[in-house]
Structures are given as C-alpha cells and as structure tokens.
Amino acid sequence: MRHLFSTLAAVAIVGGIAVATFGSPSAEAAGRRTFNVRQEVPLLVMVDVGDQGRSHADMLAFEATIKSDDGTAGVLRGLLTTVDLPDGDGDVLEDRVGQLVFDLGEGSMLVVSGASVYTAQSIEMATNNAQVRAVIGGTGAFIGARGQVTTVRNEDGSYEHAFELLE
C-alpha cells in the first residue's frame, strides 16, 4: 500500500511539473487572445545610413493611423533596418529587422520585433504576403504581452495585423 501511495505521489508530482513547465494544450488554447488591427497607408521616410544608396544599416521610419476591430484608434510607429541585401546570385530578397510600437491610447501599447523580407528595391512589403513577428511586450491593457502578429499588406496600401497573444 505504501508503494502504491509513493508511486501515485511521484506520478502526481511529475505531472504537475510537466503542466507547470509545458502547460496543458487545452489551457494554452483557452489562454489566447486574438484580435485584428487595420493600419492605414503609412507615411514612410527612408534614411540613408553608411554607404550612399541602398546598403546595410539603411532605415525606414514610418507612422500610420490604426484601428482595432473593437473600434479603438491609435498610431503605429516603426523603424525597419536593412540587414541583408540581394547578393546577385539569385537572391532577390532584402531582409530587415523591425521594431514596431502599436499605441492604442490610454497608455496601452504593444511592442513588436522581428525580421521581415522584401523584394529587391521595394520600400514596402509585397501585397498578400504574410510576415510574422514576435510580440515582445506591452503596457497598460497589454502589460506583459507575449505572442505574435501576422501582417499582410493589402492591395490598397493598407495593412492588416492579426494579433495572437498568450494570456
């Protein structure tokens, strides 16, 4: 009987550690918050850094009005830095690393970071080509936010941002 109790206790402890470490699939699915943000056509400013013309470290600063699917309006501000240019050996993509701040008012912001890919010589993302970046934090209603955002550029120059946050 004591052996059975010890075995059951060990299983309960290991199970508890596994859930605490990895989470349970149903709890994780239930702990997700999803919503969309529409971004209007952005104001873009290219900043030529380093070598003249397209080069590593060039930056693209942008700002645009946004509205979440619950009607909350705000501003998106971002900075993209070029980290890789097409190399001429069939590589036609330019890689950029970005920092984006979605300010949804009243101190509620989402901070996004990650890499994205652009066709050579393009200032903006290709239309209908989804890019995924990490949500690395937030303030106000989004304090401690973590998750991801999938961004798609629409044909009219606006963007859709689909957020998936873990709670």
- Residue 161 scores a pLDDT above 90: yes
Shared domain for 25 and 97, answered yes or no, is: no
Contacts of 158 (CB under 8 A, 6+ apart): 38, 39, 40, 41
Q: What is the pLDDT of residues 125-141, one digit of tens each?
A: 999 999 999 999 999 99
| Domain with 116 in it | 33-166
Q: In the prediction, which pLDDT does 27 show? A: 39
- What is the SS3 assignment for 8? helix
Shared domain for 18 and 68, answered yes or no, is: no
CATH code for the domain of 37:
2.40.480.10
Rounded distance, CA 64 to CA 56, Å?
Answer: 25
Shared domain for 140 and 96, answered yes or no, is: yes
Rounded distance, CA 49 to CA 58, Å?
Answer: 5
Shared domain for 3 and 47, answered yes or no, is: no
Q: In the prediction, which pLDDT does 103 show? A: 98
- Residue 50 scores a pLDDT above 70: yes
In this prediction, what percent of the chain has a pLDDT beyond 90? 69
User: What's the mean pLDDT when you consider all of the chain?
Assistant: 85
Reported as a pLDDT band with limits 50, 70 and 90, residue 15 is: very low
Q: Kindly state the tokens that stand for 81.
A: 């830095």
Q: What is the pLDDT of residues 59-89, one digit of tens each?
A: 999 999 999 999 999 999 999 999 998 887 8
Cα maximum dimension of the chain: 79
Contact assessment for residue 50 and residue 57, using Cβ atoms and an 8 Å cutoff: yes
Q: In the prediction, which pLDDT does 56 show? A: 87
Q: Kindly state the tokens that stand for 142.
A: 């989004």
Shared domain for 96 and 161, answered yes or no, is: yes
Strand stretches in 69-166, DSSP E = 73-84, 93-103, 109-119, 131-139, 147-153, 159-166
Q: What is the pLDDT of residues 74-129, one digit of tens each?
A: 999 999 999 998 887 878 899 999 999 999 999 999 999 999 999 877 899 999 99
Shared domain for 4 and 37, answered yes or no, is: no
Total domains in the fold of the chain: 2
Shared domain for 83 and 118, answered yes or no, is: yes
Shared domain for 57 and 15, answered yes or no, is: no
Rounded alpha-carbon distances, angstroms, from residue 95 to 77, 85, 114, 129? 19, 7, 11, 14
